[in-house]
A = this chain, B = another copy of it.
């Protein structure tokens, strides 16, 4: 932990009793883990706590204690004296579950580990040195003198495991392993969490891969594949390119990889969602930004309008040029 817990945050938590906890749209394991971990921490301290999320519950997180209590925008209500926002870097990430007419007058506490956080709360605790918001909450549990119950441990370890892909990301510091070890000792079942979250893919995804892989290309250290709308329909698979790109990113001969997925753009015109990965020493963040997207040096993305073949040709040329330049810098 680089940034200490603000004393105002501790004071705010201590004097509040009916607390609305919100996490972000398009939720991942740290959204669920930090949200529900915070709820169980507050309940352990004798407070009322309600978890809320804009999106419907994802099946892979149903096992988390409290998951079925998560309310959506229609049921969120107004009877609170504090709102805590977890793992969201900006207010739009809360989605419609934060309703200004009901909640704007309440104090808002922001707890997040994203370096891009805009500090939109009345109190903000942001620590990018942590690999997950759930990791930050392990320190909050301690600071508040609460016991780490089994429910808290299971939720927080889920956030850590999913955000680090089971301790594989470069921000997996010794402090991450230490936090995970303590949560395991408090009763969280690491192997079960890995099995239910990371080691989990529908058969339709494998069928989609079998359609996409024959056209994958490798040229000049750049590997790419195109997922067409026909393939998505034939596989009966809502696009999930993250796992495919995670496989691409392991290919020895490629320094940079990309998955291109055909979409219908906002105006009904054809568009292509581009998802990039770079090996250590290479950077796809700037390129995505130049194309109007965003992300980090190792993983980024953008969406471009136009026919698939034209978009792919243009972006692959840029990726090859990026890779060539960066390979020279490495020498």
Contacts and interface: CB of A to CB of B under 8 A. Distances in A.
B210 A190 contact: no
Contact of A251 (B174, B185, B202, B279): B202
Given A174-B185, A177-B177, A184-B177, A166 B166 contact: yes
A279 B201 CA distance: 13
B210 A206 contact: no
Interface in A24-64: none
A75 interface: no
Interface size on A, as a range, is 35 or more
B206 A247 contact: yes
A92 B203 CA distance: 40
Contact of A223 (B203, B214, B252, B279): B203
Interface stretch (A108-116, A191-199, A301-309): A191-199
Contacts of A282: none
B203 A191 contact: no
Contacts of A195: 279-280
Copies of the polypeptide in the assembly: 2
A168 interface: yes
A279 B192 CA distance: 11
Nearest to A249: B199
A79 B253 CA distance: 42
A250 B201 contact: yes
A170 interface: yes
Residue among A167, A180, A249 facing the most chain B CB atoms (10 A cut-off)? A167
A191 B170 contact: yes
Contacts of A169: 191
A106 interface: no
A177 B181 contact: yes
A197 to B, nearest CB: 11
A172 interface: yes
Nearest to A209: B213
Interface in A121-180: 165-170, 172-174, 177-178, 180
A10 interface: no
Contacts of A279: 195
A199 B250 CA distance: 5
Nearest to A214: B210
Contacts of A314: none
A4 to B, nearest CB: 21
A202 B168 contact: no
Contacts of A174: 181-182, 184-185
A278 to B, nearest CB: 12
Q: Select the residue from A185, A202, A203, A248 with max chain B CB neighbours within 10 A.
A: A203
Interface of A: 165-170, 172-174, 177-178, 180-182, 184-185, 190-192, 194-195, 198-203, 206-207, 209-210, 213-214, 216, 218, 223, 247-254, 279-280
4 nearest A-B pairs in the assembled complex, by CB-CB distance: A210-B213, A177-B181, A170-B191, A174-B184
8 contacts: A168-B194, A168-B198, A174-B182, A181-B181, A195-B280, A198-B250, A202-B253, A209-B209
